[in-house]
Structure 1
C-alpha cells in the first residue's frame, strides 16, 4: 500500500471530540467513477461521513490493538456516495488510545492527541486514479460531544448539532487548522478480524421507582452497549443516565463499577432530539434516569447492544430450563465481552484483554461463534507484546499495564500459568475447532518462546515454583479480598499447566512438520511430567489434595493408570464432600467435569453441573442472572453485592463448562481438527430427558438430538455429506459414520 494521507490532529482539542473536514472536487475528463474506496483509521476512534451520509454503521473503529506496532485500518466502498464536489468528514473520540484504561485512574497511555487518518482512492472509467488524503489543508472544529470516555460515558449537547460542516462551502469562525502527527505508516495493517457494530436492541421491560424515589429502567438483560434516547423538552435541560448491572436492595448497584462513572448526559435542544453515545459503552441491565422533562415514557429508551461481528455457529438446548438459561448467559456474556478484544468484564474501570480468561474460555467460544479471525487478530498482538517483553506473555493483551510499570500489586510482571499459557492454548483451540494450520504457523514462534521462557523459571527440581501465580484464581473458598488464596498449591497448578503447554507445542510441531522442535518439546513435556510426579504425587494423592489439582492432573494426562484411578476416586470423594457445590476457580473449573467423566464419575459431574446452591453454575440463574458472574457469589442470597472490590456480573471465564456441555451432554466433538471427522457421543445424565445440539463446521452442519423415553436412549444425528465419524453409545459398539443421517437406540441406563 502506498500512503499519501497523513495522520492529522486539530489545532484545538475541542473537548476530546474534534471534527475534521476535507473538501475536494473530482478530476474531470476521466469518465465515470468505476470504484471509490475509503481507507480509515485514527488515534482514538473515528466515524466518517461523505457528503452528509455516514460511511458505515461500524462503531469504535479502529478498535484496540497494540498501537505501538499495529494500527488497523478499515476499508469501505463509497462509490455510490461520491458527487462532483465532495466533503469528507471525520468525528473523533478518545477510545482506547486516549481514554482511561485500567484501574490506575490514568489515560492517554498511547498518546495525548487524537488524530484522524483517511485515504480515499477513486478509480475512473479510463483507468486513472485520484487519491485524496488527510493532510495540512484540512480544517477542524467542535462537535456536540462535550465529553467522552469508554469508562465514564459521553456528554452530548444537542444545541450544538449542525451538519453544515458536511456540505461544500462551509466556513466558521470556530473552526481552526490542523497539523500532522508524527506517525509511522508501516504500522498500518488491514482489519483481519471482525469490526464492532450494533447487533441487537432491547426495549424497556419495566419502569421501577426505587425506595429513594429514583426512576429506574430495567431492560431485562445484562447487555453491553448504550441506550438510544428520544427526548423533547426545554432547551438546556440536562438528562442524566447512570448505568449498572444490578440493583442492590432496590437501588442502582454502582459499587462494582469502582471509579467508572458509566454516566451519559444529554442536553436538550428544545426540539425533537435523539441521542446515541457511540464513543462509549457500558455493561448494564438497569439505568437510572434523572432530569427527564415530564412523564417518563419507556418507549423513548432503547438498549443498543454492541459486539464484534461474530457469526453464531453452535447451539445447545436441553430439557432443563435452568440449564438452558445458564447456557444463554454464557452466550450473552461472550457477546458483551467480545468487543474488539476478549475482555474480562465490560462495565468497571478495567475491561482488559486478560489472557487467563480467554485461555479458559476459548474452547467454548470457538463452538458458540466463529472466532477464528477475532482471536487470530488478538493473537497477533499477543505475539508482538511478547516479542517486546523478553518472551514473557503479559497478564493482558494489548498490554497497557506496561505503562503503569512492570511492578504491579502482584509483583514484577512475568509469565504465569494459565494466563501466559494463552499463547499456546488459544491457537491450539482454534486449530482444533477450525482445522486451519495457518494459525499454528503464525503463532508457533510465540508458542515456543513462551515455553522457552517458562523453562528458565523452573526450579532445580524441574517444577515451576517461586514466582507469582494467579493459580486457581477465585476459588470460592478464597476470601473476597484475596482471590488468589486458593486451596490448590500454585506450583502444582503451574507445573501441570506447563506440562500441558509443552505437550501441545510438541503436537503443533508435529502438525507443522518441525521434527526438531517436536523432539525438543516432547522431551520437555516428559521432564515436566516426571518432575510433577516426583514432587507432587504419592499413591494417587496430589499435593494440596483438592478438586483443582486432581482435575488438572487427570485431564492433562500427568498420572499413570494406577494413580489416575486413585485420583479419580479421590476427586469424586471431594466433590461429594462439598455437597456437589463448586470448589474450583479459574484453573480447575474448565476441567473438573471432564476429569470426573474420564474417571467414571459421570453422575458426579452432572450433580455438580446441576447444583443450585451457592457456589454453583446454576445459583446465579436462580438469582435472576442473565450473564455469567465473575464470582460464584457476586451477589449474596440476601441480595447484597459481594463485599470484594472485584465483583462483576458479566465475566465469561467460569462459563467454560459449556465446552463440556457441548461435547458430553450435547454429544458433538471433533475426532480430527476442524471436525473433518466427528465423534457423536452424548452421555445423558442428571435427569435430563432430551437435548439438541448443532454446529456449523467448515465442512457443513452437524446436528445431534437425543431423547430418553420408555427406558431407551434414542440418538438422531446428521453429518455433512463426505464427513466421516463415529457414533458412540453406552451399551452398543462404536458405529462408523460416513455422512448423512443416522438414528440409533440403546437401553438406558445401559
Structure 2
C-alpha cells in the first residue's frame, strides 16, 4: 500500500508564529518501484477532524511534493491549523492509485504586529541588580469567567525565561528566547495553552535569568552587553466559546520577587539557595502581598520577530558510568561522553550545607582533574540545601560543556545515583546515519555527531565549555555540509544567517562571530586588535551556508532571503582586492595548522593564496545562485569577475614549470578542490600534493582551511587509496588519533592531548570543537557514495557513487530527505572483489547509480547500465535495488 508517510511545514513537523503562507513537503512510502506523483490534495482546517476544511486544493495536477504552497492561505493571528495531504501516484506493478490522507501537521499563526510586544516589557529587578545576574519571578493572577475555546500566549524576554501556568511549565523550551543579534531583533515564542485553561482562577508565572542578554559574555568578559534588566513581555489571547475575546498583557499590575537563583552565568554556572524557595509561587493559592510591583522597562531591540521552530530543549538523559577518586584524592563523576548538558543532582543533607560541583572535559596526564583549558570559565554549581528532606536540582539559566564532574563538596559520599545529565541542544531531528565495518570510523562518526549536538545550542558555537561559546563563522562554514547530512539544519541555520546579514558592516563585511559581540568595545587583544570582521573562510559562511541549505533542501527561498547579504560579501572582497588578490586586515588563514611556526596559530600557507582561493570559490557559487534566481545580468557580471580572479590566481600562485609558489598541503588542496589549478598543471599539482603528504609519512599538517577538503582533493584526482590511507591513520596527527586517545567529540587541535599525554597550551584547547569533523561529509559523499545533484537539489535526483576502499568490508548510510529516505549499503564479499550494492531511492525522485573504479557488472537488478570510460552508469526511478559488480583491482 502506498501512503504519505511524512508531512512537514517549512521543514518542521509543526510550525508556530508564522504570518505568511507556508510551504508543504511530504514523503511517499511505497513498496513499488518507479513511483511518481501525479496529483496532490492539501486540506487545511481549524480543528483536527477536518469536518469542514477552510482550504481544500482539490486534486492538483503536479509532481511537486516539496516547496508546495496553498494559494490564498495565510495563517490568522493566534489561530491553530491542521493540515493533511493525499496524493495520486503511478508506479510499476500498481498502476494509478490514491493514498489515504496523511497524518496532520500543525500551524499556529503568529502576531501581525510583533513589535507591539516592545511596549510591554516589565522587570522585577532594581537598579542595584543591573550588574548582577540573579533569577527573578514575575506573576499575574487572572480570572476567566467563561468556557475557553482557545488560548495562545506570545512571549519573549530580554534575558532568558521559563513560562509557567498554574504551577506547570508551558513548554519544553530551554533558554528561550534564544540568542539573536539583540540590537537588531529579538524572537518571541508562541504557545497554545488551550488545554491548560478553564473557567476560574489562574496564574501566569515566569522565571527570568540573564544569560546572553545582560550576563558576562565573550572572552572579553563584557557585562550588560545588550541591556541592564532581565525583563519579560507577554500577551495572552483567550477566545471563549461564545465568540468573545480577552487579552492579557504584562504591565505594572504584575508582581515580582527574587528567585533562589543567586547568580547564573553562561561561563560561571549557577548558584542556587534552596532556602529561598517560595513554594507554589506560580499557583493561584500563593499570597504575593510581600512581592513588589513590576516596573516597565524599554525594549532595546529594533524589532521583535517570531521563532518558527528549533528551540533549545532537553534532548536526552545521560547516566554517569563511573565514580572514582583521582590520584590527588578528588571525587569525580564520569558520564563517559563529552556534551552540552545540565547536570541534575539529587540527595539529602542538612539545612545550610552546600554542594559545590565543577564541570570539566578531561583528566590530565596523571588522571587528575584538568580545568586549565576552561580559562576563566568556572563552570561551577553551588547549591545550598534547604532542609533535611530529599532534594532534586537542575540549573535553570545556563549550560555546561563537560564529561566529568568534580565533586568539590557534597553531604556524604557522592555516588552515581546522585547525578544525571540532561543533554541540551537545539531541536533538530537527526536525518543522517553512517556506519561501517571499522569500529574506529564508527566512533569518529559518533564524535562528529556529538560535537554537533554540543555546539548547536541556538547558535553554532565554537565550543561549549570555556569563556567563549561564540558563533564563529568559520567553524559553522567548514562544518555546514557535514551538519546538514546528520541533522535537519534548515530552521537552525536560516535563523543564524539572518543575524549574520543583520550584523554585516555597511560595506558588506562579515563579523568573525554571529551574533557579533566583538565590535562594540575597544580592546587590546594580541589577535583581534587587527580587525574583527571579514576573514576568509570565516566570512564566506555568508555564501557557502545558504548554498548548502539550497542543495540539501532544494529551496530557493533561502537564496532569495540571503541574496543581498551574499552579494554584499562578494562586493566587499571586490572593493578591497588589489588586482584580484584579496586580503584584508586580520586573516586567520589555515588556522592552527601543524605547519605553523613554533608557538604560532597561523599555518604556513600565505594569506594571499588562501584568501584569493576563497574569493574565487565564493564568487563561483554566487554566479550559480544569481542564475538560479533568474538574475542573468548579475551572473554574467560576476562570472567575468570570477574568470579574472582565477586567471590572477593561476598567474600568481603557479610557477611557469607548474609548481605552486607555496609548497604546503593546503595550497595544493585549495587549488585542486576549488578548480583553480591550470588544466595543464593538474596532474603535477596532484603529484606534488602526494609528495607533500609523503614528506610527513602520509600525515596531514593542515588546519581549518585545508583539512575539510584534503580527502576530496585526493579522491577526486585518482588518489582514492591515498585518501583512505589518510583517513585511517591512527597515530599523531590524524582523525583516528583522537579516537585512540579516547575522544568522544572532535578536538580543536590535532594535539590537544599530545602522544606523551601532556596538553596543548590551555589558552585555546577545546576538546569539543567540531570543525575538523567536516571529514564527515567525505564519509557520506565518497565512502558511502551519497551525493546531491545540484541541478536537481534537495535529493530530487541523487547520485549514488560509492568508492570502495580502506579495507572496509561494508558501509551503510542513509539520509531522510524531504522526499523520504535515501539509503546506501555496500558490502564486499569475503575474499573477493565482488561488491553488493543496495540502494534505496525515495518515491517521486530518481537517481543515477555509478559503479566506479573499473567496475564490471554481475547483476544490475533490471537497471540498464551504460559504459562511460571506466564508469558503469544507470538511471533509476524510486525503489530498492540490489546490484552486484566486481572491481578490477
Structural mapping, 1:72-151, within 5 Å:
72-83=187-198, 84-151=200-267
Once the two structures are TM-superposed, the CA of residue 470 in structure 1 deviates from its matched residue by 0.5
Correspondence 1:433 to 2:552: yes
Aligned partner (choices 816, 837, 862) of residue 696 of structure 1: 816
Once the two structures are TM-superposed, the CA of residue 184 in structure 1 deviates from its matched residue by 6.5
Could you say which residue in structure 2 is the equivalent of 1:348? Answer: 466
Structural mapping, 1:393-404, within 5 Å:
393-404=510-521
Once the two structures are TM-superposed, the CA of residue 372 in structure 1 deviates from its matched residue by 0.7
- The 2-side partners of 1:218 and 1:172 are apart by 42
Correspondence 1:49 to 2:164: yes
Structural mapping, 1:569-608, within 5 Å:
569-608=687-726
Could you say which residue in structure 2 is the equivalent of 1:489? Answer: 606
Structural mapping, 1:404-443, within 5 Å:
404-405=521-522, 409-410=527-528, 411-443=530-562
Correspondence 1:566 to 2:684: yes
Between stretches 329-338 and 36-45, larger displacement belongs to 36-45
Once the two structures are TM-superposed, the CA of residue 124 in structure 1 deviates from its matched residue by 1.1
Note if contact 1:705-1:717 (Cα within 8 Å) is conserved in structure 2.
yes
Once the two structures are TM-superposed, the CA of residue 127 in structure 1 deviates from its matched residue by 2.1
- The 1-side partners of 2:344 and 2:399 are apart by 12
Aligned partner (choices 442, 449, 466) of residue 331 of structure 1: 449
- The 2-side partners of 1:107 and 1:673 are apart by 45
- Alignment partner of 1:65: what SS? coil
Could you say which residue in structure 1 is the equivalent of 2:426? Answer: 308
After superposition, the C-alpha distances for 1:202-222 in whole angstroms (9 at most, x for unaligned) are 111011101111100000000
- Alignment partner of 2:156: what SS? strand
Between stretches 397-406 and 340-349, larger displacement belongs to 397-406
- Alignment partner of 2:281: what SS? helix
Aligned partner (choices 288, 295, 318) of residue 202 of structure 1: 318
Note if contact 2:164-2:204 (Cα within 8 Å) is conserved in structure 1.
yes
After superposition, the C-alpha distances for 1:54-81 in whole angstroms (9 at most, x for unaligned) are 1112100001001111100111111122
Could you say which residue in structure 2 is the equivalent of 1:223? Answer: 339
Could you say which residue in structure 2 is the equivalent of 1:729? Answer: 851
Correspondence 1:10 to 2:146: no
- The 1-side partners of 2:775 and 2:683 are apart by 23
Note if contact 2:124-2:258 (Cα within 8 Å) is conserved in structure 1.
no
Could you say which residue in structure 1 is the equivalent of 2:330? Answer: 214
Structural mapping, 1:425-504, within 5 Å:
425-459=544-578, 461-465=579-583, 467-478=585-596, 481-484=599-602, 486-504=603-621
Correspondence 1:715 to 2:715: no
Choose between structure 1 and 2: higher helix proportion.
Answer: 1
Note if contact 1:158-1:273 (Cα within 8 Å) is conserved in structure 2.
no
- The 2-side partners of 1:404 and 1:477 are apart by 33
- The 1-side partners of 2:172 and 2:645 are apart by 51
- The 1-side partners of 2:125 and 2:376 are apart by 31
- The 1-side partners of 2:611 and 2:816 are apart by 35
> Gaps spanning 5+ residues in structure 1: where?
none
Once the two structures are TM-superposed, the CA of residue 99 in structure 1 deviates from its matched residue by 1.4
- The 1-side partners of 2:308 and 2:171 are apart by 17
- Alignment partner of 2:356: what SS? strand
- The 1-side partners of 2:422 and 2:533 are apart by 39
Distance 1:677 1:391, change over 3 A: same
Could you say which residue in structure 2 is the equivalent of 1:68? Answer: 183
After superposition, the C-alpha distances for 1:174-197 in whole angstroms (9 at most, x for unaligned) are 521221111278611110340001
- Alignment partner of 2:224: what SS? coil
After superposition, the C-alpha distances for 1:102-134 in whole angstroms (9 at most, x for unaligned) are 111222100121111111111111222111111
Note if contact 2:183-2:300 (Cα within 8 Å) is conserved in structure 1.
no
Aligned partner (choices 253, 271, 279) of residue 397 of structure 2: 279
- Alignment partner of 1:402: what SS? coil
Distance 1:187 1:481, change over 3 A: farther
After superposition, the C-alpha distances for 1:4-56 in whole angstroms (9 at most, x for unaligned) are 66011124338521111111212x3xx42111111121010000111111111
Distance 1:440 1:169, change over 3 A: same
Once the two structures are TM-superposed, the CA of residue 289 in structure 1 deviates from its matched residue by 0.8
After superposition, the C-alpha distances for 1:339-386 in whole angstroms (9 at most, x for unaligned) are 000000000000000000011110000110010110011000001011
Between stretches 729-738 and 586-595, larger displacement belongs to 729-738
After superposition, the C-alpha distances for 1:470-492 in whole angstroms (9 at most, x for unaligned) are 100010232574212x1211110
Once the two structures are TM-superposed, the CA of residue 581 in structure 1 deviates from its matched residue by 1.4
Once the two structures are TM-superposed, the CA of residue 172 in structure 1 deviates from its matched residue by 4.7
Could you say which residue in structure 1 is the equivalent of 2:294? Answer: 178
Distance 1:357 1:15, change over 3 A: closer
After superposition, the C-alpha distances for 1:411-432 in whole angstroms (9 at most, x for unaligned) are 0234221011000000001001
After superposition, the C-alpha distances for 1:563-614 in whole angstroms (9 at most, x for unaligned) are 1111111111111221121211110111111110111111110010000111
Q: TM-score, normalised by structure 2?
A: 0.82
Aligned partner (choices 154, 173, 195) of residue 58 of structure 1: 173
Once the two structures are TM-superposed, the CA of residue 527 in structure 1 deviates from its matched residue by 1.1
- The 2-side partners of 1:195 and 1:464 are apart by 38
- Alignment partner of 1:154: what SS? strand
- The 1-side partners of 2:162 and 2:545 are apart by 32
Correspondence 1:645 to 2:763: yes
- The 1-side partners of 2:317 and 2:596 are apart by 38
Once the two structures are TM-superposed, the CA of residue 169 in structure 1 deviates from its matched residue by 5.7
- The 2-side partners of 1:561 and 1:126 are apart by 76
Distance 1:300 1:9, change over 3 A: same
Note if contact 2:362-2:404 (Cα within 8 Å) is conserved in structure 1.
yes
Structural mapping, 1:26-37, within 5 Å:
26=144, 28=145, 31-37=146-152
Between stretches 44-53 and 78-87, larger displacement belongs to 78-87
- The 1-side partners of 2:171 and 2:288 are apart by 27
Correspondence 1:674 to 2:791: no
Could you say which residue in structure 2 is the equivalent of 1:533? Answer: 650
Once the two structures are TM-superposed, the CA of residue 668 in structure 1 deviates from its matched residue by 0.5
- Alignment partner of 1:445: what SS? helix
- Alignment partner of 1:377: what SS? helix
Q: TM-score, normalised by structure 1?
A: 0.97
Note if contact 1:590-1:654 (Cα within 8 Å) is conserved in structure 2.
yes
Aligned partner (choices 381, 396, 399) of residue 264 of structure 1: 381
- The 2-side partners of 1:78 and 1:173 are apart by 27
- Alignment partner of 1:728: what SS? strand
Note if contact 1:32-1:124 (Cα within 8 Å) is conserved in structure 2.
yes
Could you say which residue in structure 2 is the equivalent of 1:509? Answer: 626
Once the two structures are TM-superposed, the CA of residue 404 in structure 1 deviates from its matched residue by 2.6
- The 2-side partners of 1:480 and 1:63 are apart by 40
- The 1-side partners of 2:300 and 2:275 are apart by 38
